[in-house]
Amino acid sequence: MRLKDVLLQHPERRYIMFGGGGGVGKTTFSAATAYWLASQGKKVLVFSVDPQASLTDIFKRDIFGKGPVEIMKNLWAQEVDADSHIREYQQEVRQKILDMYGLPAVPEEIENYIQAASAEPAMEESAIFDAVVDVVMQGDYDYYIYDLVPLGHALYYLSMAKVYDEWINKITKLREEMREYEEMVSRLRHEKESEQDQILQELLYIKNRINTSAGILTDKTKTGFFFVVIPEAMVINDTQKAAKLFAQFDVPVAGYVVNRVIPHELLDQNIPEYLRRRIAMQDQHMRDLQTAFGDQVLASVPEMEHDVTGLPMIEKLAAIMFA
């Protein structure tokens, strides 16, 4: 089956993700897929949640941190500014503390804690995935194309989502039991029932956000996750390991797309011997890919003669991917 067929036969898959190791072509494939879907008349948002990726460079447009930017008819692109999202989160926490406790200002020791927590390594991943929830919950587009963060980051977030979920479930249960007790005491004393528990509501809000963001990655009906690989032994091995880990977290892998394949047509030309050997080596790796992933290998993209930047090159890549 071809990549084109997989997308056309599953129009319910609104969330398309490209993942893989660094430098394999996730961002360019995301851009080309978004371009192709937009050219089919679908309203599409392609957005990057990888701080090191750059849709700005690929589309030759100033996109970073500006929200959805219209690229062409039916196509918008967005680069998430994680640092800005963290700052917004910090301010939200400060405001909730002020509102909840009626304080005129956030105490210094709490401010220091907020700053320290925001510097924690996982905060960036959490902010990125939280931003994803903000984007997709609006439901403004037919398709959302994710240029996903490196695989290790996504797996870390999925594992932490389960830990957070279990922890919040326990805390929420204890809080609910405590609230029932407080309300019973209030009734016995003929007092006014306690006001809505703000702490409980906040815990439930956090739980919902975590479940929503993790649920996007694991929705077998609406989500299609595609691994981008290149024909190199280490990348193939890493992809096989990642695919097994993703299966443990129920991430629905829709297929594999191979990038940077040296064209066989070069063999008919006067090329250096090292390039002939490299083509032979890639042929073996392509056989390894077929052995490992079988008919889940949906497309093979040759090494492009130019960097994929600007709409003409994106259109050319899309024509190859969806031939």
| The residue type at 81 | D
Q: pTM for the whole thing?
A: 0.81
Instruction: Convert the pLDDT of each residue in 54-73 to its tens digit.
Output: 899 999 998 988 889 999 99
With bands split at pLDDT 50, 70 and 90, how would you rate the model's confidence at 311? very high
Domain extent listing, the chain: 3-85+125-153+222-321, 89-118
Q: Is the pLDDT of residue 319 over 50?
A: yes
| The residue type at 194 | S
Q: Kindly compute the dihedral angle of the four CA atoms of residues 174, 178, 181, 182, in this order, to the nearest 10 degrees.
A: -160
Average pLDDT, the chain: 84
Cα-based distances in Å from 277 to 45, 267, 280, 301 = 41, 10, 5, 19
Phi, psi of 203 (to 5 degrees): -60, -45
CA distance 77 to 59: 9
Q: Do residues 22 and 150 lie in contact, with contact meaning Cβ atoms separated by under 8 Å?
A: yes
Sequence-distant (6+) residues with CB within 8 A of 309 are: 57, 58, 59, 60
Max CA distance (Å), the chain: 95
With bands split at pLDDT 50, 70 and 90, how would you rate the model's confidence at 305? confident
The CATH class that applies to domain 3-85+125-153+222-321 reads alpha beta
Q: Do residues 135 and 67 lie in contact, with contact meaning Cβ atoms separated by under 8 Å?
A: no
Tokens representing residue 64 in the block: 């970073």
Q: What is the pLDDT of residue 193?
A: 47
CA distance 68 to 65: 9
- CA proximity to 323, closest of 306, 304, 298: 298
Q: What is the pLDDT of residue 184?
A: 66
Q: What is the pLDDT of residue 103?
A: 85
Percent of the chain beyond pLDDT 70? 81
CA distance 242 to 293: 13
Q: What is the pLDDT of residue 202?
A: 67
Q: What is the pLDDT of residue 174?
A: 76
Distance, C-alpha 213 to centroid of its chain: 9
Compute the radius of gyration of the chain from its Cα atoms: 24
Instruction: Convert the pLDDT of each residue in 9-40 to its tens digit.
Output: 999 999 998 988 888 999 999 999 999 999 99
Tokens representing residue 4 in the block: 């084109």
Instruction: Convert the pLDDT of each residue in 96-147 to its tens digit.
Output: 888 877 888 888 888 887 787 666 655 666 666 677 777 877 788 999 998 8
Q: What is the mean pLDDT of residues 299-305?
A: 93
Q: In the 8-state DSSP scheme, what is residue 77?
A: E
Q: Is the pLDDT of residue 90 over 90?
A: no
Tokens representing residue 179 in the block: 């609230």
Q: What is the pLDDT of residue 5?
A: 94
From first CA to last CA, the distance across the chain in angstroms is 12
Helix (H) or strand (E) holding 279: helix 273-293
